[in-house]
Chain A
């Protein structure tokens, strides 16, 4: 099965590959995957704590072209969105944008899971952060 042009574009020229400081309270990390088939996806966001806007998104994916393209696209979409808006991103949006065939839909699911995991991690850090700050004061 041939990859769509958009998948190939993201695969050959992935956006936002890299990583952010995992220990920073403003960074959320999502690590998801299906280790049995070797697909592992790490997606990170850096959120502006005041505006709640995602300023930076990075990913690193080991997997097939569709998995790489799905996460690459996800990071593009994440930037500039608020955390709440980011949660609106659905795997079907990724499927449509990349014209993923049915056998590759799980790659888009992985990307959606990665977004949710990254946001979940960010929020968990933030909720820990607040009482700690009060304690210092």
Chain B
């Protein structure tokens, strides 16, 4: 699908019009904008390479003598570029982005993915935080070890996610995305627990 160029009416199949070379409005999909394959296990080096190349190509200063409309497109493109890079370089943000684009509601159903075996851990964490707030310094060590266990859990989730990313890339199967969503919810929950151990640490 290619729109006619806003400037000359010619074919504008890519970022710049084939005929008049004018900059076209940016694609709003991050993968499309960067010209990268729709993958969750994204090549980080390639992403960085494209980011720097496009940063040079789209720098608004290069468009200062161009029509106002093209200057605006240059600004817009730079903004999309920065968003795209920031989002896609982080594996978690990248997965959340793809889920959103594929129509998954991230916030919804988060509760069902909380592992029940965490109940005891959450109880102990609450106990330790309460004891510490009451001045029991021995609870500090408990918090430290709780934090360590949560970090191990988070690392396990990250490993599992990496595997699922590569699996999704093969066939773009929605069931796989649902599994990824579940893992991301668990990860968010664990991350919150880690943050709670931090709060207890700092508040003293």
Contact = CB atoms under 8 A, between A and B. Distances in A.
A40 B189 contact: no
A32 B122 CA distance: 11
Contacts of A62: 122-123, 126, 130
Interface in A86-112: none
Contact of A60 (B111, B114, B120, B127): B127
B110 interface: yes
Interface residues of B, number: 13
Contacts of B8: none
B114 A36 contact: yes
Nearest to A33: B119
B123 A33 contact: yes
B166 interface: no
B111 A32 contact: no
A50 to B, nearest CB: 31
Nearest to A62: B126
Interface string B116-131: 1011101100110010
Contacts of A36: 110-111, 114, 189
A31 B127 CA distance: 14
A40 B114 contact: no
A31 B114 contact: no
A31 B126 contact: no
A124 interface: no
B126 A35 contact: no
Nearest to B124: A40
A36 B111 CA distance: 6
Contact of A33 (B110, B122, B130, B189): B122
B110 A40 contact: no
Interface centre among A34, A40, A60 (most CB of B within 10 A): A40
**B110, B116, B118, B126: which has the most chain A beta carbons within 10 Å?**
B126
A58 interface: no
B119 A35 contact: yes
A87 to B, nearest CB: 22
30 contacts: A31-B119, A31-B120, A31-B123, A32-B119, A33-B119, A33-B122, A33-B123, A34-B111, A35-B114, A35-B116, A35-B118, A35-B119, A35-B122, A35-B189, A36-B110, A36-B111, A36-B114, A36-B189, A37-B111, A38-B122, A40-B122, A40-B123, A40-B126, A42-B123, A60-B123, A60-B127, A62-B122, A62-B123, A62-B126, A62-B130
Given A34-B111, A38-B122, A60-B123, 12 more contacts: A31-B119, A31-B120, A31-B123, A35-B119, A36-B110, A36-B111, A36-B189, A37-B111, A40-B122, A42-B123, A62-B122, A62-B126
The 10 closest A-B pairs by CB, nearest first: A36-B111, A62-B126, A40-B123, A35-B122, A36-B114, A35-B114, A33-B119, A40-B122, A31-B119, A35-B118
